Amino acid sequence: MCVCVYMGARTCTFLIAALCSGLCSLDAAVPQLGDDKTTDEADAAPAPALLFGSTPRNGVALGNVCSGGGFTSMTACMGVVRALMMCDGLSQVTHQGGNSGGNWFGSQLVFSDSFYSALTDLSRSVTDIVTEWGDSYMQAMQEAVSGAGNQPWYALEPTPCNVEVGGVNLGTAFTAPVNKLQSALGFPASNWIGYVGSMLRQTLPGIQTNTYSTTTRAGLDVTYVQTTTLPYDAYVGSNDATATLEVEFTNSETTQNFSAQNAPLLLVSFVSKSSGQEWVLPGVETMTIGGSAFELPSDPLLLEVTSGSSSAAGLFGSPTMLRNSFDLAGFDSEKVDAIMQCAPSGMQSTATPVLEPPICVEPSCSPFRYVDGAFVENTALAATVAQVQRDCAAGLADCTSATPKLILLNDGSVGTAFLGNHARLLFSSSEFPEYTTPGNYRPPSIDYPGSAPVVTIFEEEFPDDSEFTEYATFNWTMTDEEVMAFCKHLVFPFIDVVNQHKELKEEAVSSIANAVCAHKKGPAKSVCVTTAKTTISVTMSSESLVCTALQNGPAASKIGTTYTSSSVYWQGTVTTIENEFMTVTGGQQFELLLLMLQAPGIDAIIWPGAKANGEFNRVYGPMAELQAAGLEAVFQDFLG
């Protein structure tokens, strides 16, 4: 974001990331938006009669995979599919894979007539399609927080407790401000399944009630692979009741190693075809909760899996993951103990419930919960590779007459630090063998507070930076108008909620004043703090004063500055290695086209309903259009 620093910790991502995206203009260089096909050229292009996956290229598998990344991934993948359509490549795809935001995209592509028809209509610009989607999303969020025609999923219920920190009762001080903030922003994210259901019902009207067997496909013949994660434990009651998942594998050594980890995470995939669907659990023999057998629903709601895959703040639904996140962040142990006594305060609903029949209103009857697949493997490429291998072994696809191909759109940057680069973790590494040797585990971290099995599936090392080629470049410049719009619609609603809670405002005012006067000493500091408190308190009470302060302060040096970010690709042959937890077998070669999105800071992974239409029109839409324009020639070369 151009106005504030984005907090990457998944503990906070989906509660505050909406403030950390910036409303900036976007100019494009390579390619320019003006280089798109004209309407006449579009009319002359092949009509969208080639259904997705309907005529595989000589039966040889082609997987198209969209990584996690919220709206960034969802909209970028809209550009990917448009480019495939423009070069007659869409009809060759046999497998669609996705995680998190990649599944918001995939579920609409596979099951929504309106979404699929719009993307394959070459007379329509991708920007217009994305903008229209954003308009509908904004309206859906407004309806969700108002309860119009819907249960108000977002309201939190405080966990009864008598714990106080700094004179504030943790049982009540947290939930009321969060509820008001969600309503003000049009962002009912504390109950994630309700949020995702409200978001996607615009293109999938039956998503909140239909299972996979009762959801009609949009004329698509494709194997759809979705990933999600089962945490070590979960809050399952309306307050603080918990359940621990015990997993026994067919290999006893695997069981022993898995159980010995700190909050071990189990990546699972759900595979659906026109002929049926199934869960893929890596070598699992039994799962139990409290000594009773536990099984995932054989025919879940489409919403359940799509929401579960994207539960990025789902650590709030797992007591051990939540505790780990605080401990790893260096919080004082006594304060953490106090916080945990008042957890989950309704926030368990950020982790999607497993909905056993009969379907019931969550959270009171959920036996367990899902969290985002990203806590183990964010790209979904490993699960897609494994499914291609299974289908080839079963004679449902061809992996022998020609080398199968894979396309991965990854919401990430080439130069990201090793453990933060989800695509890099799929490749072997002589520098970090402990994190790339199957059978090992990545220890908990602040962003990923559970032990994750190593996800590496390729024997080759990740390509050098110099091996990537640019295919689309984004330029954007911050303006005064954008700063003020950002402040009015997103920053001030936060401050206004603080203003309505005396304890929160006093704490905020005191903290800011002490920071402002940190350079002062003795009596001078006391005078400075007193004066600053008065000024800050008055400023916080006025939208115009807050926004002017932002414009003249933190944002001043950014206004007028132009920033550039480029998407890049690499293509080459990769060879699989055996990975039990990814269910991948070794020795299989694939031709891989790796697309590293490298999205600019203004492209938020998530955006609240408040003024979402502006973000989709000015940022997500043009970026998706650039993906389509830049990838057409790349796909023509890759697909031959």
Tokens representing 55 are 């005529």
Cα dihedral sign, 158-160-165-167: positive
The bridge status of strand 562-575 relative to strand 292-293 is unpaired
Instruction: Return the pLDDT at 44.
Output: 37
Cβ distance 43 to 342 under 8 Å?
no
Residue 124 has pLDDT above 90, yes or no: yes
Q: What is the mean pLDDT of residues 202-226?
A: 87
Quick one: tokens of 166? 């700094």
pLDDT band for position 219 (cuts 50, 70, 90) = low
Residue 58, strand partner residues: none
Mean pLDDT over 546-555 rounds to 82
Residue 19: pLDDT band (50, 70, 90) is very low
What distance in Å separates the CA atoms of residue 492 and residue 559, rounded to the nearest whole number? Answer: 19
d(CA 127, CA 132): 9
Whole-angstrom distance, CA of residue 135 vs CA of residue 176:
28
Minimum mean pLDDT range among 79-83, 282-286, 368-372, 536-540: 536-540
CA 640/CA 630 separation, integer angstroms: 17
Q: What is the mean pLDDT of residues 72-101?
A: 95
Tokens of 572: 């080459």
Least confident span in 27-41, 87-101, 550-564: 27-41
Better-predicted residue by pLDDT, 95 or 619: 95
DSSP string over 23-67: ----EE-SS-GGGSPPHHHHHHSPPTTS-TTSS-GGGB-EEEEE-
Could you tell me whether strands 405-410 and 589-596 are parallel, antiparallel, or unpaired per DSSP bridges?
parallel
In this predicted model, what pLDDT tens digit does every residue of 354-389 receive, in sequence order?
A: 986 544 444 456 789 999 999 999 999 999 999 999
More confident residue, 541 or 75: 75
Q: How confident is the model at residue 35 (pLDDT cuts 50, 70, 90)?
A: very low
349-369: b or e for each residue (b if 16 or more CB lie within 10 Å)?
Answer: bbbbbbbbeeeeebbeebbbb
Residue 616 has pLDDT above 50, yes or no: yes
User: In sequence order, what are the beta bridge partners of 564?
Assistant: 475
Residue 60: name the closest of 409, 394, 408, 388 by CA.
388
For residue range 265-287, what is the model confidence (pLDDT) as tens digits?
A: 999 999 999 889 999 999 999 99
Burial of 212 (0-12, 13-18, 19+ CB in 10 A): buried
